[in-house]
Chains A and B, each alone.
Chain A
C-alpha cells in the first residue's frame, strides 16, 4: 500500500506541483485548499504525512496544526510556507509544533529528502526504495 500524503495549500499551482512530484516518486497524494476539505480527507483516509502552508484561506497553518496534533498525534506534520519567519525564532517556536519546517524557496529535492526522512519509502520494499533513490 502506497503511503498517503495530504497537502494543504491555498495556491493551486503549489498543490499541483507537489502532487505531480510526489506521485511521480510513488506516493499517494491528496490535496486540499481549505481546512474543511483537509479535515474531511484526513478523517476518511488517514494520511502518513500532512504538509501544510501557513497561509490558508479562512484559517492559518497554526490552527490546523493544533487540530491535527490533537486528532492524529502520531502523524508527522511538515510546514512548507512562503511566509517569512525570523530565522532564530523558527527552531524555538515552529519546530515545537511541527516535525519539519521548510521555506518554499527550498528545492524539490530538499523537500523530497525531508519527506523521505519523515516517512521513508513510498512503499515498503526494496524495489520501491531503489526506484525512489534513482529518482532523487
Chain B
C-alpha cells in the first residue's frame, strides 16, 4: 500500500515534469519561430520599402528627365541621373534580398521583370536624351510619340503593385499564422499549467491519504502495542502469582518436612531415653522396631531382631492355642505387668515383666508396643 502510493506520487511528479518540459520546449520553439517571423516581416518590409523606393525614384527621375528635355538644364540632367541611380540601387537591393530565400522566388522573379522593364525604360530615356541633344526638343517629342513611354511605366507600376500586394498578402498570411500560433501556444501553456495543477492536487490528495493511512496504521500499532503490553503485564502478573504460589507451596512442603523430621527425632529421643526394653510388633507378632535398651540388656542388635518374631526374645510362661499377645491385639486389649522370660543373645534366660499396648490407626489395631523390664534381683539362667 505504502510502496504503491510512493510509486504513484513519483509517477505523477515525472508526468508533471514531462508536461512542464513539453510546455517549456513548445514555448521556446514558438519564441524562436516568432523571432524568425519577425526577421521575415522586417525583411518583407525592407523588400516593400525597396520596391517603393524604386517606384518613387522612377517617378522623380522621369519628372527630372522631362524637365531636362524641356529646358536642357544640366541640373535637371544631374537630377534624373541621381534618381535613376537610386532607383537602380533599390532594384539591386530588392533583387538580392529576394534571391536568397526560395520561398521568395516569385518576388525575385518580379524584381527580375522590373529590372528588365526598367532597363528598357532607361534605355528609351537615354535615346530621348540623345535625340534632345542632337535634334532638339522636337526630335525628342517625335521619338516619344513614336514610342509611347506610358506603356512601359504602366507595366512597371503594375508589376510594382503586384509585388507590393503579394508582399502584403504574405504579411497578412504571416500575421494570421502568428496569431494562430499564439493562440495554440497560449492553449498549450494553459493546458499544461492546468494539467500540472490537477496532477499536483491529485498528488497532494494521495500524500494526504497516505499520511492519514499512516496515522491510522500508527494508531492501530500503538493500540496493538498497548494491548500486547497489557497482555504481557497480565501474563507477567499471572506468572508472578504462580511463582509466588509455587514458592509458598515449596516453603510449606519444606516446613512440613522439617516439622515432621523434628517431631520424629523428638519422639525417637523420648523412646530411646526409656530404660525399659521397647518392642514395636505387628499383629503377626514380628518385631518392627526396638530401642537401645534392648541391645543393652539382651545383646541382640536391632538387625537381628527386626522382622523376627518377638518369641525369639520374649517367651511367655504358658501359651495356649492362641498366643496371649496375639489374643490381646485381636481384642484390642492392653496387658499390664505380665510375667515372661527374656532370652538373651547368649541364650541366658531372665525373668521379666512386660506390658502390651495396642497401636491403633483410627479405630483399627495395626500392632502393639511391648515394654519389658527385668524383675529386680533375678539372676540370668544360662540355657
- Chain A residues engaging chain B, CB cutoff 8 angstroms: 11, 13-14, 17, 20-21, 24, 82-84, 103-109, 134-135
Contacts and interface: CB of A to CB of B under 8 A. Distances in A.
Contacts of A14: 258, 262
In the A-B complex, the 8 residue pairs with the smallest Cβ-Cβ separation, listed nearest first, are A82-B262, A104-B259, A105-B259, A108-B255, A108-B252, A21-B251, A13-B258, A82-B266
B327 to A, nearest CB: 32
27 contacts: A11-B258, A11-B262, A13-B254, A14-B258, A17-B254, A17-B258, A20-B251, A24-B244, A24-B247, A24-B251, A82-B259, A82-B262, A82-B266, A83-B266, A84-B263, A84-B267, A103-B259, A104-B262, A105-B259, A106-B259, A107-B255, A108-B251, A108-B252, A108-B255, A134-B241, A135-B244, A135-B248
Dominant secondary structure of chain B at its interface with chain A: helix
A101 to B, nearest CB: 15
Contacts of B252: 107-109
A104 B252 CA distance: 12
A82 B255 contact: no
Using C-beta atoms within 8 Å of the partner chain, give the interface range for chain B: 10 to 19
A103 B247 CA distance: 22
Contacts of B244: 24, 135
B260 interface: yes
Contacts of A13: 254, 258
B203 to A, nearest CB: 57
A31 B254 CA distance: 18
A13 B247 CA distance: 16
A106 B259 CA distance: 8
Nearest to A107: B252
B256 interface: yes
A104 B247 contact: no
Contacts of A108: 248, 251-252, 255
Interface string B260-272: 1011001100000
B248 A105 contact: no
B235 to A, nearest CB: 17
B316 to A, nearest CB: 33
A11 B266 CA distance: 13
Interface string B233-248: 0000000010010011
Contact of B263 (A21, A82, A109, A135): A82
A107 B258 CA distance: 11
Contacts of A104: 258-259, 262-263
A115 B134 CA distance: 166
A82 B248 CA distance: 21
